[in-house]
Structure 1
């Protein structure tokens, strides 16, 4: 059975992200379309150069950032990927590693990702790691669970 270009692209995405680090960010150019549009809860970035610059700044400011890919699903030119990001930042939670669960919706054009939308809880990633706000958010979540 021949694999579709989208299946191949998803495999390349998984391989690239599981090996991604500050020293190999140029590998992103092999899987993304020059007109990539990237959206997450805090950003919207257009164009490959701006996208790679975003990752460069991300890796410059963190102690460590790794992605663990869990599941993938492909439907035509669309793919969905679930993942856990392991993130350590010196100013968040005393530099401890934080786990953020997320999902990416990838749209392919000519075998490359032209649209990448990440879904994750920004509060889990950022706000809960801040001293005062974090305690308040944890208290609110506890109260909502009662």
Structure 2
């Protein structure tokens, strides 16, 4: 077995390697005790450090998540609605091919729309065309003002 490379003193992302841990990972790999820029101490396997798959104690992921939430809040959310979802395509497993329209057990077409986490039942229809028209009218009424404000 090859001698493990000494990583003491090296920096990987936000992690500075302090010393090798006396413990081993569950798979028997070497662990290194590291100090993150946020001052947290963590143990990381050497291959994760060398490959760059781990660059912090977890704080970098948290920071990235907060930055994404802030961006979404400033650019993609209007009145509590994630406007990007309003323009999403029909799901590939849709049996009707129309967003917000499903087939009930009795063969009728049910049209629905969700606005600000409120589910609005638009009705049951005998034909897919009627249900699609009801859904389209509801999108014009509820979604269009939000999309116009966000220039979607």
TM-score scaled to structure 2, two decimals?
0.26
Q: TM-score, normalised by structure 1?
A: 0.27
Greater Rg over alpha carbons, structure: 2
Larger RCO (CA under 8 A, 6+ residues apart): 1
Higher strand share: 1
> Which structure has greater helix proportion?
1
